[in-house]
Amino acid sequence: MIRQANTRFATAFLTLRSFQLQKQNLNNMFSSEKWNKSKFAKKKQAMNRAKEQTTVAFSHVEDIYKDFYDIIDKRWDVQLHQPLHATDYFLNPEFFYNDPDEMAQVVEDIEGFYDSITKLTNSNGIEDEILKELVIYKKVDEIFSIPAAKMERTLISLAEWWGLYGASTPNLQKLAIKILSLTCSSSGCERN
């Protein structure tokens, strides 16, 4: 999985590429055939729903789960409820098109998405264009509707997908590629 390179930054990219190439093998390693065939494996449930089910399951136990919820919420809010994460989730066609009605109901994601647009665009004119183009993305119009675009939502990298199929929304495409090409890195915290 890990291949050494001349710099530690290149090593990170090579490792991520190896993970992508070995995705199916990694999935096989961590999930059973029984799980893959179950109805639950095909549902993408949110953290809130999991917490609700835990509450119901342990309702007979006196508030034992509340301490765990506090830990989960603290970690969840600090790391995952950020505008950039919401935008990444919103612009990911695999998640967005899987259940657009559910996506539209997740207010924090939509607010985070609009916050990111405001922060990452240089002018109100571009922001307005992105909002107009967003209608095309939401309705699966133009290039987003072709069979290849639908099929490859889960097969290629997100930035590559936007590069191939986002041409009918050039401003949104540019923003999506900019955001979805970002990699997680601790290099900003390290001494170089």
Give pLDDT tens digits for 71-130: 767 766 665 567 777 788 788 888 888 876 666 556 556 777 788 888 888 777 888 899
Mean pLDDT, the chain, rounded, equals 75
Is this model's pTM higher than 0.75 or not? no
Query: Angle of helix 83-90 relative to helix 107-120, nearest 10 degrees?
Result: 100
Given a cut of 50, whether residue 146 has pLDDT beyond it is yes
Q: Which residues contact 137 (CB under 8 A, 6 or more apart)?
A: 96, 144, 169, 172
| Residue 138: pLDDT band with limits 50, 70, 90 | confident
**Strand stretches in 26-182, DSSP E:** none
- Rounded to 10 degrees, the C-alpha dihedral 181/94/73/27 comes to -90
pLDDT for position 103: 60
**DSSP collapsed to 3 states, 3-53:** CCCCCHHHHHHHHHHHHHHCHHHHHHHHCCHHHHHCHHHHCCCCHHHHHHH
pLDDT for position 32: 65
Q: Is 173 exposed, middle or buried (0-12, 13-18, 19+ CB in 10 A)?
A: buried
Measured CA to CA, the distance from residue 179 to residue 107 in angstroms comes to 20
pLDDT for position 1: 46
Given a cut of 70, whether residue 159 has pLDDT beyond it is yes
| 3-class DSSP assignment, residue 150 | helix
Tokens of 32: 């059973």
Return the closest-CA partner of residue 116 out of 92, 77, 88.
88
Q: Which residue ranges make up each domain of the chain?
A: 1-43, 81-180
Return the closest-CA partner of residue 117 out of 104, 103, 105, 134.
134
